[in-house]
Amino acid sequence: MLFDTHAHYDDAAFNEDRGELLECLPKHDIEYVVNIGSGFESVEKSIKLAESYGYIYAAVGIHPEETAGMDEERLSWLKEKAKHPKALAVGEIGLDYYWDTPDRDIQKKWFIRQIELAKELDKPIVIHSRDAANDTYNILKESKVQDLGVVLHCFGYGVEIARLYLDMGFYLGIGGVVTFTNGRKLKEVVAYAPLEQLVLETDCPYLAPVPFRGKRNSSLYLPYIAREIASIKNIDYETVIRVTNNNAKKLYRMEGS
């Protein structure tokens, strides 16, 4: 069965048919979905979704673009949310220098503080890193988070950066970009990386795989990602499904599920 390790079903793109779509997922071999909190409202909604569906879990974190609103009081609030029994991880947290807002020092401060929160609570972390390869790596290395369980969501760097993270025992989140004709860099990473360190994700409603590129994404399109990985690595589709599902459960500490 398929495991979507990173989705945003709280997004307004699903307002018209969210319930109908979520209810149909188990019928399409979707075993679990982790809905990822990315802001204060998103965290609340992610937990509500997790409470409403047995096969949906949450991660709670403040996306780097939202960190201008962070303070110690809100970090304490986040800590309480992270204690929810269906909150599996802290995330998505990290650095985003593509838009370069807020200030990089603010992003780094709250990235580090949220890593400290995850360490305090002994929770895995979901990392967002865009155009910030060196700072992300250095912070993670200095934070000594190898034992927590770490996934680089929507991995967007090349093989050299991938090697650094793989050597630290981290997972790489592989989504629809791997199916794009201009996704050569990610295809090379998938070819290089051990299957045992890859997990499937959609980042829905964003980044729908070919042939749905540009349309609203959902967990229903995970097979297209898995088939592309199978093709790149010249292995069976069923093997990709089985191993990535197991990887996701290890990452999120659900081995007993």
Q: Which residue pairs from 23-26 have beta carbons closer than 8 angstroms and sit at least 24 positions apart in sequence?
A: 23/53, 24/220, 25/55, 25/219, 25/220, 26/55
The average confidence (pLDDT) of the chain is 97
Given a cut of 70, whether residue 37 has pLDDT beyond it is: yes
Residue 102, preceding peptide bond in cis (omega within 30° of 0): yes
Given a cut of 80, whether residue 169 has pLDDT beyond it is: yes
Averaged pLDDT for residues 36-57: 98
CA distance 88 to 121: 11
User: Residues 180-206: pLDDT tens digits?
Assistant: 999 999 999 999 999 999 999 999 999
Q: Which amino acid is residue 54, in one-letter code?
A: G
Token readout for 174 is 């592989």
Token readout for 1 is 């069965």
> Quick one: DSSP state of residue 206?
S
Q: What are the extents of the domains in the chain?
A: 2-251
User: Residues 43-53: pLDDT tens digits?
Assistant: 999 999 999 99
Given a cut of 60, whether residue 210 has pLDDT beyond it is: yes
Place 256 in a pLDDT band, splitting at 50, 70 and 90.
low
Given a cut of 70, whether residue 149 has pLDDT beyond it is: yes
Averaged pLDDT for residues 132-152: 97
Token readout for 44 is 């609340």
User: Residues 64-74: pLDDT tens digits?
Assistant: 999 999 999 99
Averaged pLDDT for residues 71-84: 98
To the question of pTM greater than 0.95 for the whole model, the response is: yes
Q: Percent of the chain having pLDDT more than 70?
A: 99
Closest CA to 253 of 151, 142, 117, 165: 151
Token readout for 103 is 């200030």
Q: Percent of the chain having pLDDT more than 90?
A: 98
Averaged pLDDT for residues 8-18: 98
Are 58 and 88 contacting, i.e. CB atoms less than 8 angstroms apart?
yes
User: Residues 91-119: pLDDT tens digits?
Assistant: 999 999 998 899 999 999 999 999 999 99
Pick the CATH number of 2-251 from 3.40.50.300, 3.40.50.620, 3.40.50.720, 3.20.20.140: 3.20.20.140
Averaged pLDDT for residues 134-151: 97
CA distance 171 to 169: 7
Given a cut of 90, whether residue 255 has pLDDT beyond it is: no
Looking at residue 100, what is its pLDDT? 86
CA distance 211 to 124: 33
